[in-house]
Chains A and B, each alone.
Chain A
């Protein structure tokens, strides 16, 4: 290889990469550092001058019961959402990798919750769970499970409201997880399943001993993406409950917004959001390890 073209390629490589790098450094890396610096300051929307206050914001947050509930809710909602999503997404993926008539329509309908903007999906559920108009209440009434004229008030009671948030998150994440898992299931060579069938393995045995073990890596990817999306999402809580009843359903992302934008206290908002980082760091490590494993095989 002559030195000339290779050198030119090296220069070109840097030039082609430069705009993206400059943009990411200026609009992600720097703001990221600034936001963390803000969490140690008294910066508000009205008064942007920077004064160091040490851990005051963290201490104030820690003493705030709403913050601690948000922290707990964030983990609880994420764990519950992921557990339900993995089971349901595997079922949906199994259905959608099989051929049947009308599959196109089923696929379109199953995808809808994910392709719809989360805020608009949540607004649909605001009606579904309305205290007076809820069609779900109507069905329960017809089934005799709920007295005539009585209502569940889904979004008005702490336990039901939390369940509703989890339900909506599961509803909108199952399609994403199913699509990821489908990619793994279609990658299993037909011969393996056929061989297992010839050996007399029924559906359940094939599922437990062939499909699930072989799709474990993609299921892990689906869990990872699902966890990140649920953990950092504020739109479902914001639109569905807006924290109601009395901040019982607040999560870190929505509480940071309430503090930082609604309340104008940027510093405290930043100190709330910083608590999202440990889990995202864990996710980062998991992704890096998954990538390395893929590169080895």
Chain B
């Protein structure tokens, strides 16, 4: 790359206009250094802007009340000794662990239901002879666009009729309305990317179509399944509208509603507990996403390109 920038006349060490190869190279090098510095500066600014509230969350988690509320106190340093009393309070005297537990239960159930419904549907649309499979695939994806703000009106009657008011199980019933359409779309792309020959060979070897699906296609679509699991699980931690509309008792809340509602008592914000809780939920999810990012990107584009 650097060599390519030197003009052809410079081969013998003397470039036109009196500049030597040495000068050319130095200029290219300087340009390279400048571009690297710009890159790092932009990267650091982007990271700081994105992480700014989380950095502050991390700092104030360990702040004493007098430090936090002291007028004019520097918010980014400890003006008084840091303390873990608020963190202890979060774990022992608030519903935080209950919210985390509820989120895990709801997330686990939603993942299971989503896979149970979406895996066979996606395989069927990708592989089996259905005349309207293309249109059906797109229709299922478009279902995702129907806004929850409209659906919750009907759901509030549905939840009442199912006698699931104020129960996390209402969320287990409702969340797949969001996860199933997206997951069918995602898995459709993964199944289409598996060569047909592999399953056909298995069927020649005596597998039934169902066995070929379960024993051959599903294991090969494993990256897609991982993406679906992560997506369905994080949705259960993210979703706010249904969770706040249909669950109001503290014992049944999930993290996204429990933390902002239960750690604010009337007008009193328990800032340290609140921010510690938000950070403790945010970090693990970001970690998992970071590990699976490439897989997600390729999954979504595959679904789109080959849908």
Contacts and interface: CB of A to CB of B under 8 A. Distances in A.
Nearest to A259: B153
B68 interface: yes
Interface stretch (A58-66, A77-85, A117-125): A117-125
Interface stretch (B17-25, B85-93, B175-183): B175-183
Contact of B150 (A32, A121, A218): A32
Contact of A179 (B118, B256, B297): B297
In the complex, which of the residues A35, A115, A198 has the most CB atoms of chain B within 10 Å of its own CB atom? A115
Given A117-B238, A260-B153, A291-B304, A109 B47 contact: yes
A164 to B, nearest CB: 12
In the complex, which of the residues B43, B57, B130, B256 has the most CB atoms of chain A within 10 Å of its own CB atom? B43
B123 interface: yes
B154 A35 contact: yes
Contacts of A10: 128-130
B169 interface: no
A177 interface: no
A183 B150 contact: no
Nearest to B4: A198
Interface in A162-189: 171, 174-175, 179-180, 182-183, 186-187
B121 A179 contact: no
B210 A12 contact: yes
A111 interface: yes
A257 B46 contact: no
A17 interface: yes
B222 interface: no
A127 interface: yes
A169 to B, nearest CB: 14
A133 B74 CA distance: 10
Nearest to A110: B50
A8 B141 CA distance: 27
Contact of B174 (A27, A48, A119): A27
B36 interface: yes
B172 to A, nearest CB: 12
Contacts of A287: 141-142
Nearest to A274: B150
B291 to A, nearest CB: 10
B240 A234 contact: yes
A31 B158 contact: yes
A203 interface: yes
A174 B293 CA distance: 15
A182 B234 CA distance: 22
Nearest to B69: A133
Range of interface residues on A (Cβ < 8 Å): 35 or more
B245 A261 contact: yes
Interface in A228-256: 228, 232, 234-235, 238-239, 252-253, 256
Contacts of B123: 16
Given A111-B290, A198-B4, A266-B153, A16 B47 contact: no
Interface residues of B, number: 106
Interface string A91-135: 110010010101111111111111111111111111110001101
A277 interface: yes
Given A120-B282, A138-B74, A197-B4, A16 B128 contact: yes
B155 A121 contact: no
Given A100-B39, A119-B260, 17 more contacts: A9-B129, A13-B133, A16-B124, A23-B180, A24-B177, A34-B153, A38-B154, A110-B50, A117-B285, A126-B269, A149-B71, A234-B149, A253-B241, A261-B244, A288-B138, A291-B304, A294-B307
21 contacts: A16-B124, A17-B121, A17-B125, A20-B120, A23-B177, A30-B154, A31-B154, A32-B150, A35-B150, A38-B153, A110-B50, A117-B282, A119-B260, A124-B54, A125-B53, A127-B271, A171-B49, A197-B1, A256-B149, A261-B156, A272-B149
For the complex of A and B, 9 pairs with smallest distance between CB atoms: A13-B128, A31-B154, A16-B120, A20-B121, A235-B240, A124-B53, A116-B282, A273-B150, A16-B124
Interface of A: 5-6, 8-10, 12-14, 16-17, 19-21, 23-24, 27-32, 34-36, 38, 45, 48, 91-92, 95, 98, 100, 102-128, 132-133, 135, 138, 148-149, 171, 174-175, 179-180, 182-183, 186-187, 194, 197-198, 203, 218, 221, 228, 232, 234-235, 238-239, 252-253, 256-257, 260-261, 266, 269-270, 272-274, 276-277, 280, 283-284, 287-288, 290-291, 294
